[in-house]
Amino acid sequence: MKNDEQLFENYLKKSKRENNIVTMWQFIILFAFFVLWEFSSRLYWIDPLLFSSPSRIFELLFERFSNGSMFTHLSVTLFETILGFIIGTIGGVILATLLWSFTRFSKIMDPYLVVLNAMPKVALGPIIIVALGPGYSAIITMGFLVSVVITTLTVYSAFNEVDPNYSKVLKSFGATRWQCFKEAVFPATMPTMISMLKVNVGLSWVGVIVGEYLVSKQGLGYLIIYGFQVFDFTLVMSSLVIIAILAAIMYKVVEKLEGWLIKHTT
């Protein structure tokens, strides 16, 4: 018994040490990237007008956060992204559930889902803007559309790949199709649905930023377009850096949520 406990403790220590090493190297690579970027700009290895530099970006961000102008754009984009992420994920799971529940409906919808998944969502932007108006609704809808189709297809595929013997056992006890889904199919696909949360983080950011490109007077996507228009590439790079930081934070939050869900659903 003591040997087992000792082996488990050694495993935990080894796992923690490995995680620390990975984290350390991640920070080293990130630090080296910014140092190389700064020196490349100062030594004119790259065009400082186009690629700016970390020092210029820091100065601009400090100025804009000090006067409060950046908080407005940041909060708008973050609100749109989180809402698009939540609606897209929940909507995809609901649609996948309907497809699994009604076989004829899934056969009818199959070619349409494939076409929608292949279609560039940017092409729908002008139609969405005209239909919903140039506001939050259009941008959130873009974030929703980018993630909902791929979520639906992935989760529906996971539903169909569940071992049919689970349902057969439940049906032998008189379970209905819905009971089989609730007790066997849905729980078996929880890992896939949780994994989709990570994928949807990136997709939601893409959808919202594209939406802000097309129609917006606020947000980080608007700042990127405005920076291009006035040839202020430091503003463009600053917005990209903020997006990268926010996406990383959101990814880590989803990762923590994933660990909690796995712990409480298995």
CB distance 140 to 219 below 8 Å = no
Residue 158 Cα distances to 52, 98, 194, 201, 261, angstroms: 45, 14, 12, 20, 18
Which residue from 197, 169, 167 is spatially nearest to 182, judged by alpha carbons? 167
Over residues 95-149, the pLDDT tens digits come to 999 998 888 888 888 888 888 888 877 777 778 877 887 777 888 888 888 888 8
Written as six digits, the tokens of 175 are 């379970």
Distance, CA of 43 to CA of 104 (rounded, Å): 65
Residue type, 99: L
CATH domain 48-265 topology: MetI-like fold (1.10.3720)
Distance, CA of 53 to CA of 61 (rounded, Å): 12
Which runs of E-coded beta strand occur in 59-140? none
Number of Cβ within a 10 Å radius of residue 86:
16
Distance, CA of 196 to CA of 23 (rounded, Å): 24
Distance of CA 49 to the CA centre of its chain: 31
Q: Which residue has the higher pLDDT, 100 or 217?
A: 100
Over residues 142-185, the pLDDT tens digits come to 888 888 888 898 899 888 888 888 777 888 878 888 888 888 88
Structural domain boundaries in the chain: 1-46, 48-265
